[in-house]
Amino acid sequence: MKTFILIHGSWHNAWNWHKVIPILQLAGHQVFAVDLPGMGRDKTPIQEVRLATSVQKICDLIDTIEEKVILVGHSKNGIVISQVAEYRSEKIEKLIYLAAYLIPNGKTQADYSKLDVDGVLKPFVTRYPETQSHTLQPEIYKEGLYHDCEDSILEMAKLLLSHEPMETGITPLELSDVKFGSIRRFYIECTEDRAVTPFIQQKMYQETICEKVYSMPTSHSPFFSQPQLLCDIFMEIANL
């Protein structure tokens, strides 16, 4: 048995993983899916969310678990699992980046997002300076996030997607070779991704080398469109 902690991406929350959780549990694994601060059922005011806030929530969870954990980060919140790895390196067995931002020390998620000029989401982001947050306009959901997913996922997203804190994406990571660099890293690229494009995914895992790279012919949301295949990869990594 392994223990997985699953971290959602921008605008989403723990509901991302509702198809994945039962598959992993049926295989005998322990699974935690977390609402990051300000997201889902976590009612932290969005204007108060910082990268440190999100990282601390995951560190607090890890501190309650006796065994080592496997951290999975999707999309933007690859940055969260990287920073958590720096602070809890002794408690983390592996890191899995799912179409996620794998950023080196001193850089920000925004630094790499700016390079991803072919992504379709940016023109549909609405910013709210008064709360230092942004939302994604629903008309891009299907094309940008769920083009290979059931229509029911699109309808759920219209009800559940929420504001995303801006500060987390512009905070430089503080990572070291001794701690973060000591943990085994794996990358799962989504080759039909229109949100975090294959170009930027490849750039990141080529710059910050991972032990193995897996490819899925899916959109940005394989946890909805191909949950069994995704879990097969998770469990293969767990057994390596």
pTM over 0.95: yes
Q: How high is the pLDDT of residue 129?
A: 96
CATH code that applies to domain 3-239:
3.40.50.1820
Q: What does the pLDDT read at residue 65?
A: 98
Residue 222's pLDDT band (boundaries 50, 70, 90)?
very high
**Confidence band (pLDDT; 50, 70, 90) for 187?**
very high
Q: Are 189 and 201 in contact (CB under 8 A)?
A: yes
The per-residue pLDDT for 151 is 96
pLDDT one-digit tens code per residue, 59-77: 999 999 999 999 999 999 9
Give residue 204's pLDDT: 98
Q: What is the mean pLDDT of residues 173-187?
A: 98
Residue 208 has a pLDDT of 98
CB 193 within 8 A of CB 220: yes
pLDDT averaged over the chain? 98
* 126 to 42, 108, 143, 153, 166: CA distances (angstroms): 22, 20, 17, 22, 11
User: Which residues does residue 164 pair with via DSSP β-bridges, in sequence order?
Assistant: 134
pLDDT of residue 238: 98
The string of pLDDT tens digits covering residues 101-157 is 999 999 999 999 999 999 999 999 999 999 999 999 999 999 999 999 999 999 999
What are the contacts of 84-88 at 24+ separation with CB within 8 A?
84/55, 84/58, 84/59, 85/175, 85/179, 85/180, 85/183, 86/173, 86/174, 86/175, 86/176, 86/179, 86/180, 87/55, 87/59, 87/179, 88/59, 88/62, 88/63
Mean pLDDT throughout 7-32? 98
